[in-house]
Amino acid sequence: MTRRSWRAALTTVALALALLAAPAAAQTVAAPAQLEALRKECIAAALATQQRERAILALGHAVGLLGRDADGRQRDLADSHAEQERLLGTIELLQRDPPNRVAFQSEPPIDRIRGKLLIDGMIPALRDAAHALSAEIQRIAELRKEEAAKQTELLGDHRALAAERQHLAQLVAQRRDLSDRILPAEAGSAAPFAKLGREAGDIGDLIKRSDAAIDRRDGELLARARAALPKAKAGTVTEAAADPTRPPELRAFNPPQSALVMPVSGSITRGFGDASAGAAPRPGLSFTTAAGGEAVAPFDGQITYAGSFRDFGVILIIRHAGGYHSLLYGLGRLDVRPGQWVLAGEPVGATPDAGDKASDSLLYFELRRDGRPVDPQPWLATRDERHDPQSGDQRMRE
């Protein structure tokens, strides 16, 4: 083989190697952008799921009201059964044997007048009572029909919700798999964080320990990224660049300009500092939501703890820029892990599923600043509304 042939062969090999390496390089560059797009898909799917859950809660409430109204009216009819029999018997008697005004002619004038007034007054009253009874029976039938229609609508919504939850679960799985491909597996190991739950003395201590563990984890990622580059360029690597899974636009929580997203679709049943019967006040908000209800991040941040802690059950802690932390208690399923970044509205888990039983779930939400609980309600907005900064003042628990 001539020298020119060797050069041509080497050029061909080099070109082939470049072509083989190009897809991998392109994939490395595109993966963070793909993750960002997938996050947006997850947020949109979680929003649709929560909207469906809200519709089901409202529809279920309407079905309950219709059923209770119809049941109450039915009981009233049953309680007045004797009066109905007398009314119907009197009407039947009058229809069969109507009063003969001639029969009153032999009576004294005063008695004739009294009899005539009695008959004239009784017949309209009987007619009105009969109409009222008929209208009540018809109203009960209408309520039952409306209840049945809403039950059918509710069944359709439950089927749609199951499909939306399945779609969301697929997106969450894709998000997890893509994150695992972008970051080394050991970077997301949950073992060191599970140990924190056994060592921390209380919630405040757990927050401090979790923050320190995440800072060490992020520091290791930064050191690894810098070690992979020449010394001249190592100093240019930032923490954001060391973790490609970090969203490029991560907002700091800055109330009252910032608004928190409702973590679940439901209603607040216990406010900040409210005490229930026989229990001390709690520095957070309690939500009643649907069983298996989707839970989302209230604001942009990083997961610092996700797991069980003492008798609190499953706890999720999200650290926000600005010294704030969100804490969610009562989750039955976790879709995130420590070190993971989330945007406001991004799915993080779900409340316990009641199985075949129609039951609601409870979720407890705390917001803390520098370790101290803060009332989040003034800054809490639904997914469909923007927060009004004038709706309330911050109340910090000393």
Q: Which domains does the chain have, with CATH numbers?
A: 24-182 (1.10.287), 186-391 (2.70.70.10)
pLDDT of residue 393: 36
Q: Per the structure block, which two tokens stand in for 346?
A: 């991004």
Pairing of strands 324-329, 341-342: unpaired
- Integer angstrom CA distances of residue 74 from 55, 67, 132, 134, 143: 28, 10, 14, 13, 11
Q: What is the rounded CA–CA span in Å between residue 343 and residue 301?
A: 6
Q: Which residues have a Cβ under 8 Å from the Cβ of 130 and sit 6 or more positions away?
A: 87, 88, 91
Q: What is the rounded CA–CA span in Å between residue 293 and residue 280?
A: 27
pTM: 0.75
Cα dihedral 303, 309, 311, 313 sign: positive
pLDDT of residue 85: 59
pLDDT of residue 243: 86
Q: What is the rounded CA–CA span in Å between residue 271 and residue 138?
A: 43
Q: What is the rounded CA–CA span in Å between residue 165 and residue 292?
A: 10
Q: What is the rounded CA–CA span in Å between residue 345 and residue 221?
A: 26
| pLDDT tens-digit profile, the chain (398 residues) | 544 444 444 333 343 443 344 444 344 557 888 999 999 999 999 999 999 999 998 898 899 999 998 888 888 777 665 565 565 655 555 555 555 544 445 556 555 555 454 555 555 665 666 677 778 788 889 989 998 999 999 999 999 999 999 999 999 999 999 998 888 655 445 667 777 888 888 999 999 999 999 998 888 888 887 777 777 566 666 777 778 899 988 899 988 888 999 999 988 888 776 766 566 667 889 898 888 999 999 999 999 999 988 888 899 999 999 899 999 999 999 999 999 999 999 999 999 886 544 567 889 999 999 989 999 988 887 544 443 433 333 333 33
Q: Where are the alpha helices (DSSP H) in the chain?
A: 3-79, 81-96, 109-182, 191-199, 203-227, 231-234, 239-242
Q: What is the rounded CA–CA span in Å between residue 91 and residue 98?
A: 10
pLDDT of residue 242: 77
The secondary structure element, H or E, covering residue 267 is strand 266-270
Q: Is-contact 59 195, C-beta < 8 A?
A: no
pLDDT of residue 30: 72
φ and ψ of 290, to 5 deg: -70, 150
Report DSSP state, residue 335.
-
First-last CA distance in the chain:
85
Q: What is the rounded CA–CA span in Å between residue 380 and residue 386?
A: 9
